């Protein structure tokens, strides 16, 4: 259904960008809850009841985030009549890069032989994909760029502690990519944007690296993902729900005027609670967490692409994307889907 948004603040938010293509990739290896029962003291019933997750995809030992990202971009190129050789910027959102440098974005440039483009990796954890979309729209608005690849990819299994029963049940690997283009008529499909960070809560979900401290707080120096699930859940229900509501308000929209709600797929209980607090029905939520688990920066494009493939997400639909996670950072956009 195609509708003109009744956006009171439309003049305050400018966009000349549209998403022209989407692609995704998931590793072949499936880890079920029964597999996790062999590793830690847990059960399928316990995991499903608390998270909604039944299985997740796990990358092969010698398969890294770059491999997932390349395959997602290749999937995009194979499904849509688009060219990549004139892409002039690549943004990859990831918390699990193969190397600190060079970037995965630089590897994509090399792999696809894109002659003239900038390339950066960004790190906004589970808000990375939506933050990447915000950056892409801003770069296109400058007029200096016309076609940008935005990729969300993570191999969280590489930094998951499979002796920690509270975290190892959550995470999986995957990648999603979109091609964002400057529109010829200057009328973009990005309808609203929101970003907020509470850095004081950064200690509640982290993976340590060079330092063993965040401010005055000591870290577990393992390099593995550490999460205080209770604090993250509390933050999501309060600050993230407020963020979603502010995003709707900035667009002059009520929840029922949005066709689809695509939150970060962290936990099915969080998705349900956000729907209740923000006025969405659970049928409006795009969730793939039961099949893929929490895939961080990849979770939103994976859920969206599932909806594209089964026909739920169609041209003209309004979709609210909201990522949230480590930082503690959140970033959201409302799009008019035009593929």
Measured at the CA of 9, the angle between CA 4 and CA 14, to 5 degrees, comes to 80
* 117 tagged catalytic: no
Report which DSSP code applies to 28.
S
Q: Which of 145, 264, 317, 322 is catalytic?
A: 264
Q: Which two tokens stand for residue 306?
A: 């599932």
* 62 tagged catalytic: no
Q: Which two tokens stand for residue 256?
A: 């029922």
Q: What residues have CB less than 8 Å from 280, skipping those under 6 apart? A: 255, 258, 261, 274
Q: Which of 117, 126, 168, 278 is catalytic?
A: 126
Distance (Å, rounded) from C-alpha 219 to C-alpha 308? 41
Q: Which of 168, 294, 317, 322 is catalytic?
A: 294
Secondary-structure breakdown of the chain: helix, strand, coil percentages, each rounded to the nearest 5:
35, 25, 40
Nearest alpha-carbon partner for 129 in 197, 170, 178, 86: 178
3-state secondary structure of 315: coil
Q: What residues have CB less than 8 Å from 132, skipping those under 6 apart? A: 91, 92, 93, 122, 150, 151, 152, 297
Q: What residues have CB less than 8 Å from 79, skipping those under 6 apart? A: 21, 22, 23
* 294 tagged catalytic: yes
Q: Answer for the pair 132, 91: CB distance below 8 angstroms, yes or no.
A: yes
Residues recognised as catalytic: 126, 264, 294
């Amino acid at each position: 259904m195609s509708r003109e948004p009744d956006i009171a603040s439309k003049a305050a938010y400018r966009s000349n960008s549209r998403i022209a293509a989407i692609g995704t990739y998931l590793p072949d290896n499936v880890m079920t809850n029964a597999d996790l029962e062999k590793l830690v003291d847990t059960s399928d019933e316990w995991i499903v009841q608390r998270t909604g997750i039944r299985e997740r995809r796990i990358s092969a030992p010698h398969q890294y985030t770059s491999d997932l990202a390349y395959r997602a971009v290749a999937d995009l190129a194979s499904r849509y009549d688009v060219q990549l050789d004139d892409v002039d910027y690549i943004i990859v959102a990831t918390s699990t890069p193969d190397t600190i440098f060079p970037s995965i974005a630089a590897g994509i440039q090399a792999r696809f032989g894109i002659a003239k483009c900038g390339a950066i990796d960004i790190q906004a954890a589970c808000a990375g994909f939506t933050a990447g979309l915000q950056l892409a729209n801003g770069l296109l608005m400058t007029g200096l760029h016309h076609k940008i690849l935005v990729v969300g990819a993570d191999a969280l299994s590489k930094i998951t502690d499979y002796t920690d029963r509270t975290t190892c049940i959550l995470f999986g690997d995957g990648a999603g990519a979109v091609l964002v283009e400057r529109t010829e008529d200057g009328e973009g499909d990005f309808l609203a944007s929101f970003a907020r960070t509470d850095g004081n809560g950064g200690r509640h979900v982290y993976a340590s690296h060079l330092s063993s401290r965040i401010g005055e707080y000591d870290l577990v120096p393992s390099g593995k993902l550490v999460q205080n699930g209770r604090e993250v859940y509390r933050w999501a229900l309060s600050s993230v729900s407020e963020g979603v509501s502010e995003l709707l308000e900035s667009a002059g929209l009520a929840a029922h005027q949005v066709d689809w709600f695509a939150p970060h797929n962290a936990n099915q209980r969080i998705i349900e609670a956000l729907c209740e607090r923000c006025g969405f029905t659970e049928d409006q939520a795009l969730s793939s967490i039961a099949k893929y688990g929490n895939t961080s920066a990849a979770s939103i494009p994976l859920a969206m692409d599932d909806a594209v493939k089964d026909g739920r997400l169609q041209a003209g639909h309004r979709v609210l994307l909201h990522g949230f996670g480590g930082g503690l950072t959140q970033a959201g956009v409302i799009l008019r889907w035009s593929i």
